[in-house]
Structure 1
Amino acid sequence: MRKLLLAGLLLISALAFGQGAWIHAKAMLAQYLISDAWEQQLSGMNKPRPWPWADTWPVARLQAPALGVDQFVLAGASGRTLAFGPGQVPGTALPGEPGNSVISGHRDTHFRWLKMLRRGDELRLQGVDGGWRRYRVRAGEVVRETDTRILQPAGRDVLHLVTCYPFDALVPGGALRYVVTAERLF
């Protein structure tokens, strides 16, 4: 009976580990597929899908040079989209365009690196026109999920990166968000 119980526990552990590994593997693989779609976007194709059944497409390329981060940003910020990469929040400026652009990502995959950003760090953002814009991190703060100040139009070019907080929480979601604010350098 003990051997059967031990075998059952090992099987459950292997399945749980496999599911966690699959989430991270899927997130990394998606960025490679999105990279190809991004090249198509820069070549003039409108809304190229990274895979045939995708309901999203790349809208920007985001880099944090000091941290070695190079990611592609997808259109939309639904849970389904965020499983594959950071997403541009609808209703805010498209990344690289004038105004307030808000990009959201999961704290345990694509936006895990936000906790390492510091005031003064540079971010680079490539828009669909192929041009690069530079931003300087001005602040990182924890806010309540219900705080929607970052979604408001801005009188300047600003980039907000948002993820759930705390970074090491075991339960997804939660009432807090970590927000990085960066202003465009001209």
Structure 2
Amino acid sequence: MPRFISPLALALIGTILFGDGAHIHAKAWLAQVLLERAFDRSVASGEAVKPWSWADTWPIARIEVRRIGASAIVLAGTSGQALAFGPGHIDQTVEAGERGIAVYAAHRDTHFRFLRDVAIGDVIEITRADGKHFRYRADASSVVRFDASGIDPATPNYELVLTTCWPFDAVTSGPERYILHATLIGTGS
């Protein structure tokens, strides 16, 4: 009897662990579907629309890198709640398309997983919730300590930074961050 229970117990434990790992990716996918709907309603109405009634954040922009087929909805703020569902806009930075640096941050294993595939020269498109559209060109990347980003919020230029934890394939958090820098190259559709 114990020989029969052991394989069943191992199979059950394996199923639970697999389900737990798949849960985070399923939640990220479902959240992006709900965020897409809220973002589209925000653009159409001109007002911030929460993706679900109890949300403490709302969509403010869409990031697209068409060359690699990547897209994500950016949320207001970078609280732990917001980052669980999508990239967040760091409050102390300007909105995309404004003079200065707009900074978006997200987790490396979900919403900014695509950053590993973005190449220097790629076009990053940002559509804000007010319907305005901006195109940036990725022009530099670096790995820095979390407390030494080198980002100058007082820059006179129009810039975008996408940031996430480094290295991309780590299983635990660490002090390093990957920074992808881009410069505005155009506006409109």
Global fold match (TM > 0.5): yes
CA shift at 1:143, angstroms? Answer: 0.6
Report the secondary structure of 2:170's partner residue.
Answer: coil
Report the equivalent of 1:177. Answer: 177
* Displacement of 1:129: 2.2
1:106-185, aligned counterparts within 5 Å?
106-150=107-151, 152-171=153-172, 173-185=173-185
Deviation at 1:151, TM superposition (A): 5.8
> 1:62–1:73: 8 Å Cα contact kept in structure 2?
yes
RMSD: 1.5
Contact 2:99-2:156 at 8 Å conserved across structures: no
Q: Which residue of 2 aligns with 1:53?
A: 54
Instruction: Give, as a single letter, the amino acid of the residue that structure 2 aligns with 1:165.
Output: W
AA in 2 matched with 1:179: I
CA contact (8 A) 1:106 1:112 kept: yes
Alpha-carbon distance in structure 2 between the residues aligned to 1:159 and 1:179: 10
| Mapped pair 1:97 → 2:98 | yes
Given that 1:163 and 1:179 are in contact with CA atoms closer than 8 Å, whether structure 2 keeps it comes out as yes
Contact 1:97/1:127 (8 A) holds in 2: no
Name the amino acid aligned to 1:99: G
Identity rate, percent: 42
Deviations 1:123-161 (A, max 9, x none): 000112212111000111111111142263321110000
Aligned equivalent of 1:18:
19
What are the ranges of 5 or more consecutive residues in structure 1 without an aligned counterpart? none
Distance across 2 between alignment mates of 1:129 and 1:45: 6
> Does residue 86 in structure 1 map to residue 87 in structure 2?
yes
Moved more, 41-50 or 161-170: 41-50
Distance 1:3 1:79 in 2: 43
SS at match of 1:149: coil
- Structure 2 gaps of 5+ residues are none
Aligned residues: 185
Counterpart amino acid of residue 30 in structure 1: A
1:17-36 aligned within 5 A:
17-36=18-37
> What secondary structure does 2:45 align onto?
coil
